[in-house]
Amino acid sequence: MPNAHRADRSVMLAGTLLLVFLFTLLPTGRAHACSCMFMEPEEALAQADVPAAFVGALVAREDAGRGEFGAQVQWTFEVEAVLAGDLAEITTLRAPQDDGANCGLNLQVGDRTALILYSDGDGWSSSSCSTYDADAMLAAGDPQPPSPVEGEDGQGEPFAQPGHDGGLPVVPIAIAVLGAAAILAAVVLLARRARPTDG
């Protein structure tokens, strides 16, 4: 029964490939790179769920332990212009340090940038997907001076925006699902082709 043996071998091979593929999807690491859905500055600022945005320079950064997305950093900015929300001259936020996969920030003290912020509990956070060229954002928005009075937490008043994810990082889940479905379909097809015929 050579056909039956070929069917068994084909099914075992395809099944092994499926298991290996599914194993690579287990959350034991962050293998995929950060990917963002690009928006022009005007489009980003026009979103209704943007609680705050500013142009400023990084003046300090301190380690803040580890979080769900890697090493957390407290970033302190001297705000040059406010493009949305209410921010103090010195504004702090917490966000992961960029590791190539977590969409964290990759800034050095002295860097001038534009950031869109989102509420994170009682403070602010952001991501590399919400980072823009400072001059482009100034040209796209309506820059206002920051508040001269620092808020109690040094951040102004954060606007609670439940569900806002601070940018649009695109995780390739759909690709993983389609890949698993394709391998499963290959298993079924190989089994049918190798099935011995009657008589």
Both 46 and 121 in a single domain? Answer: yes
Residue 36 lies in a domain: no
CATH number at residue 92: 2.40.50.120
Counting the structural domains of the chain, the total is 2
Both 118 and 136 in a single domain? Answer: yes
pTM of the complete model beyond 0.85: no
List the domain range (segments joined by +) for residue 17: 2-31+172-193
Q: How far is CA 141 from CA 33, 42, 55, 132, in A?
A: 30, 7, 10, 12
Report the DSSP pairing between strands 70-84 and 90-96: antiparallel
Query: pLDDT tens digits, residue range 107-117?
Result: 999 999 999 99
Mean pLDDT by 10 residues, the chain (199 residues): 56 56 46 76 86 96 80 93 94 89 90 93 90 96 85 42 37 56 71 61
Please report the pLDDT score of residue 158 as a whole number. 41
- As a whole number of angstroms, the distance between CA 25 and CA 27 comes to 6
Both 63 and 133 in a single domain? Answer: yes
Please report the pLDDT score of residue 126 as a whole number. 93
